[in-house]
Structure 1
Amino acid sequence: MMRCHGFTPRPGWRELAAESGFDFHTTEDGHEVWSEASAYAFTLRQIEEDLEAPTADLFGLCLDLAAEISESPVLMRRLGIPDWAHALVTKSFRARDPHLYGRFDLAYDGVGPAKMLEFNADTPTALFETAVFQWRWLEDLRASGALPEDADQFNSVHERLVAQLGRIRSRVGDVLHLTCMTEFPEDRGTIGYLADCAAQVGLEVRLVDVADIGLHQEGGRSSFVDRSGAPVRLLFKLYPWEWMLRDGFGPAIAGASTIFVEPAWKMVLSNKGVLPLLWERHPGHPNLLPAYFEDDPRKFELGKSFARKPLLGREGAKVTIVTDGQVSAAEDGPYADSGYVRQALAPIPDFEGRRVVIGSWVVGDEPAGIILRESAGPISNDTAQLVPHFIQP
């Protein structure tokens, strides 16, 4: 089994977090995003066979599915992608526009097999917390003797991010704009961390708020520019594709020369419609859960217990858990008009009232590490806490 161990939090960890750029460890209402009162232990076999290998396999299945959907207007409509954006997705995948990272959310109790709950392919957060602060926790506990010197961690996220950004630079160019809605500390911290990674490979980085990106039109051609008027040729955006398509400048994206990271083809995989599509193509796959679109009569095969999820959604918004025909948990929020899927329930490990979901990262095309998220209820929402892990010697 996966084991939970209690630890004494490092003295001054909040100050250490702030010094290292993790100044969003506590929200304005006092909720701590990070907790190190406990940590989860894995064996090397569990990591390699039950988490790393399935993550690679699932990502391969997702790439195959993205290739299929990007050539199918019928499937793109099934996911709610507007008709005018179909060519954008198709062109992006055919060119294999470069991508950076994504995070699978997995249900896993230490025995397995791990089950895919969803794939956060477009704008996943908890990146800095995984790559930097979690690793620093491991180093500090080894140095203090709280963990053996040869305790390890499944965590090559930082190194793989730097390497992938280097590959993007060699293919695309030397100037990288990074954008988000900077009023949100977590988003601001994430793009700040990625800017540091990009600078390590020689990219010239420019951080801008989404609102400070404008559209310049001249001679019948459109281009995106920053507030200084400089062209935005390569843009990392911590801003969902579905929001971009709804914005006033959305239709101009197809004709602009900007290369987006994450690319347009990632909007396919960030849609929970991939859950039933994957199950339809790979029924019985050990790492997939049965899933169906809400308007598919086959949904009744799930019986009276299932999770109902919006096609587009984040932080558990509009997710409903039905157990034995009764609503046992539900989250309010936006995304109600995006359509829904039903997914079979996976048992989420419960450690003294803390439900634990594993976030398994893919950087480039490779598995890169994990972070764990504890929630008080069965739906992982914005009140969850990130907790570290280690590999037992």
Structure 2
Amino acid sequence: MLRMPINPRPDWKERAREFGFGFHTMYGEPYWDESAYYQFTLEQIERDLEDPSEEIHRMCLEVVARVIADDELMRRFCIPERHWDFVRNSWESGDPSLYSRLDFAYTGKGPAKLYENNADTPTSLFETGFWQWLWLQDNVDRGALPRQADQFNSLQEKLVNRFRDLQFLTPGRALHFACCKGTEEDRGTVQYLQDCAREAGIEEHFVFIEDIGRDTEGRFTDLQDQVISWMFKLYPWEFMFREEFGDYLGGNNIRWLEPPWKAILSNKALLPMLWRMFPGHPNLLPAFFEDELDQAAEFDELVKKPIFSREGANISIVKSASSDRAGHKTEVLSDGPYGEEGYIYQAMYPLPKFGKNYTLIGSWLIDDEAAGISIREDSGLITLDSSRYLPHIIL
């Protein structure tokens, strides 16, 4: 695994405008960065990332089955009790999923270590499935990369095929897509998914989350008063459960993407459950609930993560394995609005550093199949929504 410098395409910003990539710069700083790329061998991809991703995904589904069957675990995962039947029925009915992303620390040597599972609302789909592939093609065509350069990236093909499967499983329904207003990155992600769904032959519509209403019969509707019967929402389940209309979720005949059972997988409580069920697995980091810290005495440093959090918010390093008792030392790495529901603790395993850059690998799955990787880097230990995105090749 190498970080290789390369000259950016001279016309890449014009190309970005051509293909609607409007969020390549965020907060006045570059988000898309093609001044370098990461190079992998085929063995690194297949042995260290692709195969473990599918294995961990299967393990995560075993966790869902365990949690669904146990009231105490549902409480540990902070699923509101009034929504337990909604979540359980979704799992027991076999409601299908679309996609997810596992985040790994990987040095290029030895097993990749799982940081978390972004199973509900992962973004950076467009950059991964289309834009970095276009970067590869352009650079091969201009001779900046060798002809044999490849990329671990079947994301777009698998998305289109998965939408075809989902249409077969959900016949006779138009698919609504939704995200919040004022977020160009989220809108770009949803637009890309709309394009993939349209290519699969699905009738699709868009509505902002804030514009969803209810008709006189209590059904959710869009601004054209069309009844929503199938919806992809780039909006977390933990938010939806607490919304004003949250109590109506189980009373509507809606098929959801992602399905309600994903509220268990996108939850940081997944991490100690994985460690409890698969202790010592080479791709897992030891992780513990707050009342299990006596089991973590051997660790000098633990990473403290909220059960619910987004974009690397509210992460701290605890400089002892004790609970929050007097004498421990905590280093706050990122602020944010999360933590009300509690925290989990994960063994410290810093991201690898390439030059001045800490590097995180996202491994994408469509349904149950590994589909490609995305790479984010930052000058700090925490990967934030503003962290740079870099392309990769296999050589």
The TM-score, its normalising length taken from structure 1, stands at 0.96
The corresponding residue for 1:375 is 378
Cα displacement string for residues 309-344 of structure 1 (whole angstroms, at most 9, x for unaligned residues) = 001111110011245765455100011202100001
Of 147, 160, 167, 2:145 maps to: 147
Of 71, 74, 92, 1:73 maps to: 71
Cα displacement string for residues 223-272 of structure 1 (whole angstroms, at most 9, x for unaligned residues) = 21111111101000000101101111101001110111000000100000
Of 278, 301, 304, 1:305 maps to: 301
The corresponding residue for 2:292 is 296
Q: Distance in 2 between matches of 1:293 and 1:234?
A: 36
Q: Kindly indicate whether the alpha-carbon contact (under 8 Å) linking 1:329 and 1:379 is maintained by their aligned counterparts in 2.
A: no
Of 277, 283, 291, 2:279 maps to: 283
Structure 2, unaligned runs of 5 or more: 321-327
The corresponding residue for 1:353 is 356
The corresponding residue for 1:134 is 132
Q: Give, as a single letter, the amino acid of the residue that structure 1 aligns with 2:5.
A: G
Relative distance call for 1:36 and 1:260 in structure 2 (3 A) is same
Cα displacement string for residues 121-152 of structure 1 (whole angstroms, at most 9, x for unaligned residues) = 00000111000001001101111111111110
Q: Distance in 1 between matches of 2:246 and 2:332?
A: 35
Structure 1, unaligned runs of 5 or more: none
Q: Kindly indicate whether the alpha-carbon contact (under 8 Å) linking 2:177 and 2:194 is maintained by their aligned counterparts in 1.
A: yes
Q: Distance in 1 between matches of 2:272 and 2:220?
A: 36
Q: Distance in 1 between matches of 2:279 and 2:176?
A: 41
Q: Distance in 2 between matches of 1:374 and 1:248?
A: 37
Alpha-carbon deviation of 1:34?
0.8
Q: Distance in 1 between matches of 2:111 and 2:269?
A: 22
Q: Kindly indicate whether the alpha-carbon contact (under 8 Å) linking 2:181 and 2:210 is maintained by their aligned counterparts in 1.
A: no
Q: Distance in 2 between matches of 1:21 and 1:298?
A: 51
Q: Kindly indicate whether the alpha-carbon contact (under 8 Å) linking 1:302 and 1:344 is maintained by their aligned counterparts in 2.
A: no
Q: Name the % identity.
A: 45
The yes-or-no answer on 1:13 pairing with 2:12 is: yes
Of 219, 224, 228, 1:228 maps to: 224
Q: Kindly indicate whether the alpha-carbon contact (under 8 Å) linking 1:320 and 1:331 is maintained by their aligned counterparts in 2.
A: yes
Q: Distance in 2 between matches of 1:134 and 1:346?
A: 28
The corresponding residue for 2:156 is 158
Q: Distance in 2 between matches of 1:195 and 1:262?
A: 15
Q: Distance in 1 between matches of 2:386 and 2:177?
A: 27
Q: Distance in 2 between matches of 1:326 and 1:383?
A: 28
The corresponding residue for 1:118 is 116
Q: Kindly indicate whether the alpha-carbon contact (under 8 Å) linking 1:292 and 1:298 is maintained by their aligned counterparts in 2.
A: no
Cα displacement string for residues 366-392 of structure 1 (whole angstroms, at most 9, x for unaligned residues) = 000001100111111123101010000
The corresponding residue for 2:182 is 183
Of 233, 238, 242, 1:237 maps to: 233
Root mean square deviation, CA, Å: 1.3
Q: Kindly indicate whether the alpha-carbon contact (under 8 Å) linking 1:42 and 1:390 is maintained by their aligned counterparts in 2.
A: yes
Q: Distance in 2 between matches of 1:302 and 1:95?
A: 42
Q: Give, as a single letter, the amino acid of the residue that structure 2 aligns with 1:231.
A: V
Cα displacement string for residues 13-52 of structure 1 (whole angstroms, at most 9, x for unaligned residues) = 122112212111112x312111011111000000000000
The corresponding residue for 1:365 is 368
